[in-house]
């Protein structure tokens, strides 16, 4: 299927690892030029170079901590100076948390609010004018199954991802008149480096291998009985970013192998 993405420009935050990197590489495979935003400049630049080598498109790595407004401003200027405009924005930067509501500090709540919600708001506001100039665009937010089905050990993550879904719905209603579509993707179990790191720590306590630990997690939670690969998830992002999904506006898609326990 020709998604007709060739020559377009995409920005992916949290784009140097996991889902973000898989999405950036899939976009490049479809012929898109990409900007990878990540806190680590060296890794972002390295992955961008691999994309250029592998797919022959234009790609750059941009160092940016999207929880900080001033760094977003600088990063967006670099992207606009390089590409002249943007067609697709993927607000993907984020990470899990671990705390209780009663014990988590205001500072921790604020950090994750800035990382998961304000970063998406600021990036969207910064790049929507370019999309308007191009007569349309797509914004894809990476939320989580936790926005609807919270995990007990990360109330801040659950709360901020739920807020991200609502922000996306509100924004979608506001900008569809400009031919800008906003959608949300809510993954479940995706085998990212973070999961391998967690498995390495917790499996040792249980006296099993990291793979056995992850297999147990999948069997306990996902009817499909396995994790998704980041590349599987990226296929969906490419479709949603394309004109083939032109009637998808304001929706939240659960890619969770059946983990969500309710009809959605």
Shared domain check, 146 and 75: yes
Shared domain check, 159 and 113: yes
Confidence class for position 247, pLDDT limits 50, 70, 90: very high
For residue 1, what pLDDT is reported? 85
In a domain, 102, yes or no: yes
Q: Give the closest residue to 36 by CA, choosing from 26, 48, 49, 51.
A: 48
- The answer to whether 185 and 130 have CB atoms below 8 angstroms apart is no
- Strand, coil or helix: 35: strand
Shared domain check, 178 and 100: yes
Average pLDDT score, the chain: 97
Give pLDDT tens digits for 149-189.
999 999 999 999 999 999 999 999 999 999 999 999 999 99
**Domain membership of residue 198 as a residue range:** 191-227
Give pLDDT tens digits for 66-119.
999 999 999 999 999 999 999 999 999 999 998 999 999 999 999 999 999 999
pLDDT > 90? residue 254: yes
For residue 201, what pLDDT is reported? 86
Shared domain check, 140 and 91: yes
Shared domain check, 196 and 92: no
Terminal CA-CA length for the chain: 28
Tokens of 45: 């630049």
**Domains held by the chain: number:** 2
In a domain, 260, yes or no: no
In a domain, 4, yes or no: no
In a domain, 62, yes or no: yes
Shared domain check, 206 and 126: no
Shared domain check, 160 and 219: no
pTM for this model (two decimals): 0.97
pLDDT > 90? residue 28: yes
For residue 33, what pLDDT is reported? 98
For residue 205, what pLDDT is reported? 85
In a domain, 262, yes or no: no
CATH number at residue 149: 3.40.50.720
Mean local confidence (pLDDT), 215-234: 97
Q: pLDDT > 90: what percent of the chain? A: 95
Angle between helices 193-206 and 210-221 (to 10 degrees): 100
Shared domain check, 163 and 104: yes
In a domain, 176, yes or no: yes
For residue 194, what pLDDT is reported? 87
Shared domain check, 90 and 59: yes
In a domain, 178, yes or no: yes
Would you call 213 a catalytic residue per the annotation?
no
In a domain, 204, yes or no: yes
DSSP string, 54-112: HH-S-EEEEE--TTSHHHHHHHHHHHHHHHS--SEEEE---------TTT--HHHHHHH
Shared domain check, 83 and 172: yes
Shared domain check, 146 and 26: yes
Tokens of 166: 């609502």
Which one of the listed residues 157, 213, 247, 253 is annotated catalytic? 157
Shared domain check, 234 and 203: no
């Amino acid at each position: 299927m020709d998604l007709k993405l060739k020559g377009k420009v995409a920005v992916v935050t949290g784009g140097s690892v996991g889902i973000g990197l898989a999405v950036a590489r899939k976009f490049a495979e479809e012929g898109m030029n990409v900007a990878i935003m990540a806190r680590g400049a060296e890794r972002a630049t390295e992955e961008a170079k691999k994309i250029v080598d592998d797919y022959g498109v234009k790609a750059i790595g941009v160092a940016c901590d999207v929880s900080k407004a001033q760094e977003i401003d600088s990063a967006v200027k670099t992207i606009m100076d390089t590409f002249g405009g943007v067609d697709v924005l993927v607000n993907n930067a984020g990470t899990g948390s671990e705390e209780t509501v009663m014990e988590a500090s205001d500072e921790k709540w604020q950090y994750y609010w800035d990382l998961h919600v304000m970063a998406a708001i600021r990036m969207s506001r910064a790049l929507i004018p370019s999309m308007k100039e191009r007569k349309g665009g797509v914004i894809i937010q990476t939320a989580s199954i936790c926005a609807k089905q919270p995990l007990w050990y990360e109330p801040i993550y659950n709360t901020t991802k739920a807020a991200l879904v609502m922000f996306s719905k509100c924004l979608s209603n506001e900008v569809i008149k400009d031919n800008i579509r906003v959608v949300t993707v809510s993954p479940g179990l995706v085998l990212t480096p973070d999961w391998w790191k967690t498995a390495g720590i917790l499996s040792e306590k249980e006296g099993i291998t990291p793979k056995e630990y992850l297999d147990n997690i999948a069997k306990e939670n996902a009817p499909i009985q396995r994790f998704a690969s980041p590349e599987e998830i990226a296929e969906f992002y490419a479709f949603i970013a394309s004109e083939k999904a032109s009637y998808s506006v304001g929706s939240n898609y659960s890619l969770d192998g059946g983990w969500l326990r309710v009809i959605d």
